[in-house]
Amino acid sequence: MGLADRAVGFLLSFISLSIFTYYTFWVIILPFVDSDHFIHQYFPPLEYAILIPVFAGVTLLFFLCVFIGMVILKSKKKKP
Amino acid sequence: MRHVIKIITILVAISAIWIGLLQTAVIPNSHTWLLPIYLVVLLGCYGLLMVGVGLMRFPTCPQEAMLLQQDIIEAKEFLKQKGVDFGSD
């Protein structure tokens, strides 16, 4: 039980740290690097650095609203 | 109420710094426009990191769990004698 918790915790922190480093590199460091450096081929163009978080946020909001709606519908069905 | 005011002041300070950075072009403007989104992603990352670290350091107390199970069994026996109905288990 404790081991599974620790594994999930480690996975979460690892994902968080990797997202942090990749995104920091992408948004802050890469614009200062010359455009013919080889590192640029590992990163998509900069518009995606805005599109992907916005898309993820909108998806999150969407699932949240759907979940709340389903809960409300379920509770209304039980009442009468 | 105090907490909300604290958060609002922090937000106002950050937006003031951002607008100041926009006006005086210390950093090139294309950079400055990306800053709020970067801060939001940073905040989400930080939250995820705290959850992961908290999960990793969560202390389980095996002896307390055993004692709790015994307490539950005792309480069930006692209440069954008194006639309380335990429908589900």
Quote the domain boundaries for residue A2. Answer: 1-43
Residue A1 has pLDDT above 70, yes or no: no
Residue type, B17: I
Same domain, A18 and A52: no
Same domain, A37 and A57: no
Same domain, A9 and A37: yes
Same domain, A1 and A27: yes
pLDDT for res B70 = 93
Same domain, A2 and A38: yes
CA distances from B85 to A12, B17, B68, B74, B88 (A): 43, 64, 21, 15, 9
Same domain, A38 and A48: no
pLDDT for res A28 = 83
Put simply, the chain B residues between 16 and 45 with a CB less than 8 A from any chain A CB are: 28, 30-31, 34, 37-38, 40-42, 45
What six digits make up the tokens of B4?
């909300």
The interface predicted TM-score (ipTM) is: 0.76
> Which residues does chain A have within 8 Å of residue B49's beta carbon, measured at their own beta carbons?
12-13, 16-17, 20
Same domain, A39 and A3: yes
> What tens-digit pLDDT sequence spans chain B (89 residues)?
889 999 999 999 988 888 888 787 777 777 788 888 888 899 999 999 999 998 888 888 888 889 999 999 999 888 888 877 776 55
Same domain, A5 and A34: yes
Pick the more confident residue, B24 or A9: A9
pLDDT for res B88 = 54
Same domain, A50 and A39: no
Indicate yes or no: pTM above 0.90. Answer: no
Instruction: At B61, give phi and psi (nearest 5°).
Output: -115, 95
Same domain, A8 and A37: yes
* Total domains present in chain A: 2
Q: What residue segments make up the domains of chain B, in order of their start?
A: 2-81
Angle A2-24/B29-56 helices, nearest 10 degrees?
A: 170
Same domain, A37 and A50: no
A11-62 pLDDT, tens digit per residue, is 999 999 999 999 998 888 888 888 778 888 888 888 888 889 899 999 999 9
Same domain, A27 and A53: no
Out of A9, A27, A53, the one facing B52 most closely (by C-beta) is A9
Which of the four pLDDT bands, split at 50, 70 and 90, describes residue A63?
Answer: very high
- Residues in Cβ contact with B80 at an 8 Å cutoff, skipping those fewer than 6 apart: B86
pLDDT for res A6 = 87
